[in-house]
Structure 1
Amino acid sequence: MLASESTGLMERQVLTTLQIHQDYTCNYGTWVSALNTAAVIRYLYNIGNGDCAAPPGRPGAGGCSNTGCAGESSIWLCNDYNFQLHVPCRLVADNAVEVMIKCQNNDVVRGQIFSTDRGWNTIINRC
């Protein structure tokens, strides 16, 4: 669910509730270390409700931000909305955990998981 937040001269959209993630693929990205990916997940959980943001994009050409990198492993937040996206970093971490559960192959992982409205997604890929 999105809510408007007034910040003086500008208004931004903020994700306010957890969305259930059903739509994913394990065939996206480059295989990276699951151990290093877990380190990035811990980093994002340490930020907790702190802001992870991604620039405006459009479906199929999302605006993406690298939320954290360890070794060659990275977790990306990608935005298909036409406005800047702000989500608590713990939600990005939750999504990355789902990709790890669904897509890990021994000691490597890659994949992408979408929000229920497909407005944003989380990708495990290379830095």
Structure 2
Amino acid sequence: MAYGSPTDLMDETHGMSESTCLDTLEQFYDTIVQVYKDEYLHKPNQEDLNLLFRKVKDRGFSGMIGSLDCMHWDWKNYPTKWQGGFNGRSGKPTVMLKAVASYDTWIWHAFFGVPGSQNDITVLGRSPLFNRLTKGKAP
């Protein structure tokens, strides 16, 4: 993972099959989420919102809790079996990240785009960020 090597090369360098590498990577990610979810992966509670509203009001952005941005990352070592599924505007494989961050760079929401030709609007439409808003619920 640190070197960005494709999983099918692990057999040659470390004697691990591609499926074992993928299973191990999934277990690693699950462990990271379990260890850090309570502190870093939560929706803003009322105390968080009050602090955010107070800070942004001082900066002239009343009622805002964060900034939304979408970015396209070139995906250099993507799995070849997904070829064509993540092609970006440049014709190269890309993956899209949409995130909401507050003034203190705390990330309140993150969503990686799904396969297919994606732009900022289509990723927003597939993201769970606005699901609560469309049901009339908001922080």
Q: Mark yes or no: TM-score above 0.5.
A: no
Greater helix fraction, Structure 1 or Structure 2: 2
Asked which structure has the greater CA Rg, the reply is: 2
Greater strand fraction, Structure 1 or Structure 2: 1
- Higher RCO structure (Cα 8 Å, ≥6 apart): 1
Per the normalisation by structure 2, the TM-score is 0.27
Per the normalisation by structure 1, the TM-score is 0.28
